Amino acid sequence: MNVADVKVCVLRIEGTNCELEMAECFRRLGAQAEILHLKQLTGECSPDKKRQLSEYQILMLPGGFSSGDYVRAGAIFAARMKNALMRDLVDFVEKGYAIGGICNGFQILVELGLLPGIDKTYSEVPEVALGINDSARFECRPTYVKCESSGKCVFTRNIRKGRNLLIPSAHAEGKLILPDGKADEMLQRMIEQDQIVFRYVDYMGNYSGYPWNPNGSIYNIAGICNSTGNVFGMMPHPERVFYRIQHPDWTQNDIGENVGDGRAIFESVLSYITKKF
Amino acid sequence: MKSKKHENLDNCFEVELPETPEGLKEVSDTLKLGLSTDEMLRVKEYFKNLGRNPTDVELNAIGQAWSEHCCYKSSKVVLKKYIFPLEHKDMLLRGDAGVMSFDEEYAYAIRIESHNHPSAVEPYGGAATGIGGILRDVLAMGAQPIALIDPLFFGPPDMPHEKLPEGVKHPKYLFAGVVAGIRDYGNRVGIPTIAGSVHFDPSYTSNCLVNVGCVGIGKKKFIRKNAVSSPGDNFVLVGGLTGRDGIHGVNFASAVLTEKSDVEGRPSVQLGNPIMKEPLIHSVMECVEANLVEGVKDLGGGGLSCVCGEMAIAGGCGAEIHLDKVPLKEEDLAPWEIWVSESQERMMLAVRDENLPRVKEIFELYDVPCTVIGKAIPEKKVRLYFKGVKVFELDIDFYTGGPEYTRPFVVKKREKTKERKLPPPPKPEELEKIFLTILSDLNVCSKEWVIRLYDYEVRGRTIIKPLTGRPSHQTHADAVVLKPLEDSYRGLAIAVGSAPWISALDPYMGGVISVDEVARNLASVGAIPHAITNCMNFGNPEVPEVLGDFYEVLRGVGDACRAFKIAVPSGNVSFYNESPSGRILPTPVVLGTGIVKDVRISASTDLASSDGYIYLIGETQENLGGSAYARIYGIEDAPPVCNPTNAFKYVSAVVSGIERGIIRSCHDIGDGGLAAAIAEMSIGGNVGVDINLDGVNMQEDVFLFSESPTRWLAEVDEENHEEFERAFAGLNILRIGKVGGKNIDFFKAGKKVLGVEIQTAKKVWNETLWKIMG
């Protein structure tokens, strides 16, 4: 299909707050992006506003503090989706469409059990968690991530393995935690299946501790995908570095064509959809 | 006090107003109206003419509307003299926020206000609701909030506990609480906190200052007055429920703090809920952009009473309101409580009948309560009903009018001729110690500890960020630059300025230099200063010297804005910032905006080259008064002076130099003087500098640490230096050094007089707040 026909659903509830810049990234690349309230997918709205998930090829869960994150980051948004939409979601994933979650969206995908999605579409209960940062602080800072994907993840296929990207973080709960006793086995399986997409590195490109790993995430993991590669979540915000002038140090260099490090993520998923469907 | 139950209601009273002044004062005190005896006499006279007694609802409404916070009764006469006459071609509207033209199609709204007293009692909630309130002020103009700004003032956070006055909370606790409140509210609501300042001085120990600013953007055609359009408009209350939180908040804000404020003031502090505010912003903006509302107003200090009255009078109407329709948090609120409650997250919309169904549908989708509570009427009266019974009927002019005072003031004589006590010239090893001490001073050091707690990038519009430079070596920006529109490179720069220490020595100069500071911050990112909004924080205006300071500061602000061609479309005055243990320094806080023609030309403070020249722009005065150096080392001296007409020439030249691309990086010289400024640039670029002091004809320490206004450091590539010098012909510039190496070195006559490694400077500059705050 043509990129102009690709429809992206950017989903929100109260407290979601990165939806506009997310939708703009797709629109800048020529796709159609619509910001929907969850109630428009579950039918709790006037008939002219109702939508079906099957009308879209990409579902994006943007960052923010859905429902205030008062219970656990992403837990309420996920619970509301699970009740009304789980079958639609599973169907969406199994048809090969793409789901991406950034920051709070990543937390929601984990709560939904769609990530890490090791050898299955989803799990009834969350298998991993995104816990409170080791620093116990909200961390708004530029971070570097290294692309680890050999091509499985549909959101990073245009990014060369080993390339370092500057993508900023802003979260209080971003530390990926694997269950005790099963951590090594799960990590190994995720590595084997090319599910580790991004790992935090320092400005030299070395795996490094705080503040380069802003949350203490295991194995410096910043982003993962499911075993089929079409569900992807990451803590840092690529939609905040679509342009070069959104980088924190752009004034030190020539901005060239004004391409930011986050842009390739949106380009990748759009080219995946246009090629496959 | 004599009162009797309303004939048809159990929770409403008729109050008998006694004849004697003492009796009237007692009524005011018993009902916590905060009205003076003279004001009560005026109330008495009004009801005498009506031939009836007031209800408790009416008295509470008057007490609230006539508070300093709501009607600016002590400050209005001064504002009329110095600020209101300032005109500007781009100023579109004065309202809950001021509105300025941004480009042909768009306007921006700007406002700052104080949330000082609530934050002194309950720092987390006080600061959070301050953010909530300022967001609504901007939203009320029909503008989407895009930035939050927080200038904060505390006592020393490392102050020993035993020195703390009774009933006062420790500055470290207040600082941490306020920052957490801003973090949790601002981050959740999804509006970036992009700028601010943190100042520390013992005078703020018992009365911290929490000023909150907001900037928003909207299409000119959707900008709304805070008014109804005509009789028949529905008053539609949207957002949070109404409860007992925030009763008498404005009266609390209009009195001096005491050691009992902690207990007695607590009910005045509102409760914030950012997760109600976030969809409230969406739904209000959706209604505004679908052209469904006639006017919008924020429910802040003064609650329904102020909002209904002011929206009606601004539209040339009156209002009829049914209090029992107001959705409540708890069922048993009395009519007067409903009418004056300052519960958060509420807005009022004026909506025509035909638009009501669509408005309701929008709010329903976002799960935000939306209730019609009354209508605009042609008579200039406000009438209230509770369960069908009339509980209130006042002439709208009378109760929203409020008194206006020309209070006595004196401009305190300051001993300007006092003999200067400059320190003896320090030896080189002493100079290094002074340099590092100043870099690590609380008012100079890195504010990273605070800044990284705020999401300054949400919405993806922050082009020059509050911390700038390579991720491994970041430094303070002078101003933040936003790119508010998707399809335009036009930028809006935002910066804060405040000169409390200079204001204490010379309030007029304090006013001028606060504006100068904002203007030079804006200039150094390439922005022409455009507008300011200000928050004037002072002590008790009934003290003539305090009011005298206020007059002088405003005179300075007015003169500076005229010279800089800056508009003042909004502002806020906060009096009574004192307690028995002391009064704050006169503290003007100026939040300024500037226009960047194209954000891609902006400059930042981090050094960009490895071999450029460093120029000092502007004139260095020998005066040290008000500087960090003087405060730390107890140096008594007069403050520097600023000639705003002259300063404007410099500002224009700096902006032009950045626009033409001949200035690579730029930093204004402020707290800590030239030495601190060069260190910050060096830290941000992770590259050293060699500074040559040969052309300097004053003592080195004075030159390095003077905080003379209207100065910048500019980095200029060698190939551009002739063009740069031509561009600044007729202005004072001095090529003082060159970028390179790993040290910040200062030379005189070929000899090094001061040298520090970047890493050392970075360490002391960075670690102060981290060490104290953990």
pLDDT at B266: 62
Flag whether pLDDT at A110 surpasses 90. yes
Burial class from Cβ neighbours inside 10 Å (0-12, 13-18, 19+) for residue B4 reads: exposed
Token readout for A168 is 């900023």
- pLDDT tens for A221-232 read 999 999 999 999
> What per-residue string of b and e applies to B728-754 under the rule 16 or more CB within 10 Å gives b?
beeeebbbbbbbbeebbbbbeeeeebb
B6 is catalytic: no
What is the C-alpha separation between B98 and B249, in angstroms, rounded? Answer: 24
Flag whether pLDDT at A146 surpasses 90. yes
For residues A248-254, average pLDDT: 93
Please state, rounded to an integer, the average pLDDT across all residues of chain B.
94
Interface of A with B in 208-237 (CB under 8 A): 237
Q: Is the peptide bond before B274 cis (omega within 30 degrees of 0)?
A: no
Nearest to B712 by CA among B681, B666, B648, B758: B666
What is the C-alpha separation between B94 and B109, in angstroms, rounded? Answer: 9
Active-site choice (B115, B117, B199, B248)? B115
Contact B474 A248 (CB under 8 A): yes
What count of other Cβ atoms lies within 10 Å of the Cβ of residue B774?
A: 8
What number of CA atoms fall less than 13 Å from residue A12's CA on the CB side? 28
B115 is catalytic: yes
What count of other Cβ atoms lies within 10 Å of the Cβ of residue B631?
A: 16
Residue B268: band (very low, low, confident or very high) from pLDDT cuts 50, 70, 90: low
Q: What is the CA radius of gyration of chain B?
A: 27
Chain A residue at shortest CA distance from B599:
A245
Of B183, B279, B451, the CB nearest to A14: B279
Flag whether pLDDT at B345 surpasses 80. yes
Report the range of poorest mean pLDDT among A234-238, B122-126, B598-602.
Answer: B122-126
Nearest to B216 by CA among B142, B113, B310: B142
Chain B residues in contact with A141 by the CB 8 A cut-off are: 452, 471
Q: What is the CATH number of domain A3-276?
A: 3.40.50.880
- pLDDT tens for B545-560 read 999 999 999 999 999 9
Chain A residues in contact with B454 by the CB 8 A cut-off are: 138, 140
Q: What is the pTM of this model?
A: 0.95
Are A135 and A102 a contacting pair, CB within 8 Å? no
Contact A17 B451 (CB under 8 A): no
Q: DSSP 3-state assignment of B560? A: helix
Flag whether pLDDT at A141 surpasses 80. yes
Residue A245: band (very low, low, confident or very high) from pLDDT cuts 50, 70, 90: very high
Which residues, at least 6 apart from A182, have a Cβ–Cβ distance to it below 8 Å?
none
Flag whether pLDDT at B262 surpasses 80. no
pLDDT at B428: 78
Residue A70: band (very low, low, confident or very high) from pLDDT cuts 50, 70, 90: confident
Are B266 and B247 a contacting pair, CB within 8 Å? no
Are B724 and B657 a contacting pair, CB within 8 Å? yes
Report the gap between the CA of A183 and the closest CA in chain B (Å): 30
Contact B600 A255 (CB under 8 A): yes
Are A189 and A178 a contacting pair, CB within 8 Å? no
Of B276, B456, B459, the CB nearest to A140: B456
For residues B469-476, average pLDDT: 93
Chain A residues in contact with B468 by the CB 8 A cut-off are: 248-249, 251
Flag whether pLDDT at B51 surpasses 70. yes
Question: What strands, in cross-sheet order, belong to the sheet with A196-201?
Answer: A32-37, A7-12, A58-61, A98-102, A231-234, A221-225, A196-201, A144-147, A164-166
Token readout for B393 is 């009927």
Q: Tokens 């935090």 appear where? A: A200
Chain A residues in contact with B278 by the CB 8 A cut-off are: 14-17, 64
* Residues pairing with B593 in the sheet: B494, B531
Flag whether pLDDT at B629 surpasses 70. yes
pLDDT at B259: 72
Contact A68 B274 (CB under 8 A): yes
Classify strands B381-386 and B318-322 as parallel, antiparallel or unpaired: parallel
Which residues, at least 6 apart from B129, have a Cβ–Cβ distance to it below 8 Å?
B115, B118, B185, B246, B269, B270, B271, B272, B344
Put simply, whether A166 touches B (Cβ < 8 Å) is yes
* Residues pairing with B568 in the sheet: none
- pLDDT tens for B189-235 read 999 999 999 999 999 999 999 999 999 999 999 998 999 999 999 99
Catalytic site positions of A: 103, 237, 239
- The residue ranges of DSSP E strands in B336-453, in sequence order, are 346-351, 370-377, 381-386, 389-395
For residues B159-165, average pLDDT: 92
pLDDT at B580: 85
Are B120 and B137 a contacting pair, CB within 8 Å? no
Report the range of poorest mean pLDDT among A30-39, A188-197, B122-131.
Answer: B122-131
Residue B377: band (very low, low, confident or very high) from pLDDT cuts 50, 70, 90: very high
Put simply, whether A156 touches B (Cβ < 8 Å) is no
- pLDDT tens for B498-528 read 999 999 999 999 999 999 999 999 999 999 9
Of A14, A168, A245, the CB nearest to B599: A245
What is the C-alpha separation between B642 and B626, in angstroms, rounded? Answer: 13
- pLDDT tens for A4-30 read 999 999 999 999 999 999 999 999 999
For residues B105-132, average pLDDT: 94
What is the C-alpha separation between B265 and B126, in angstroms, rounded? Answer: 11
H-helix or E-strand spanning residue A183:
helix A183-192
What count of other Cβ atoms lies within 10 Å of the Cβ of residue A157?
A: 18
Flag whether pLDDT at B721 surpasses 60. yes
Chain B residues in contact with A63 by the CB 8 A cut-off are: 458
Residue B264: band (very low, low, confident or very high) from pLDDT cuts 50, 70, 90: low
* Complex confidence, ipTM: 0.96
Residue A71: band (very low, low, confident or very high) from pLDDT cuts 50, 70, 90: confident
What is the C-alpha separation between B14 and B53, in angstroms, rounded? Answer: 6
Contact B460 A239 (CB under 8 A): yes
Q: How many angstroms from the chain centroid is the CA of residue B92?
A: 20
What is the C-alpha separation between B148 and B373, in angstroms, rounded? Answer: 31
Interface test with A, best of B184, B217, B275 (most A CBs within 10 A): B275
What is the C-alpha separation between B122 and B132, in angstroms, rounded? Answer: 15
Residue B258: band (very low, low, confident or very high) from pLDDT cuts 50, 70, 90: confident
Interface of A with B in 67-96 (CB under 8 A): 67-70
Q: Is the peptide bond before B425 cis (omega within 30 degrees of 0)?
A: no
Q: Tokens 């399809």 appear where? A: B487
Flag whether pLDDT at B414 surpasses 90. no
- pLDDT tens for B601-617 read 999 999 999 999 999 99
Are B277 and B135 a contacting pair, CB within 8 Å? yes
The residues spanned by each domain of chain A are 3-276
Flag whether pLDDT at B416 surpasses 60. no
Q: What is the 3-state secondary structure (H, E, C) of B66-126?
A: CCHHHHCCCCHHHHHHHCCCCCCCCEEECCCCEEEECCCCEEEEEEEEECHHHHHHCHHHH
Interhelix angle B758-773/B673-685, rounded to 10 degrees, is: 100
Residue B272: band (very low, low, confident or very high) from pLDDT cuts 50, 70, 90: confident
Put simply, whether A252 touches B (Cβ < 8 Å) is yes
Flag whether pLDDT at B14 surpasses 70. yes
Flag whether pLDDT at A181 surpasses 70. yes
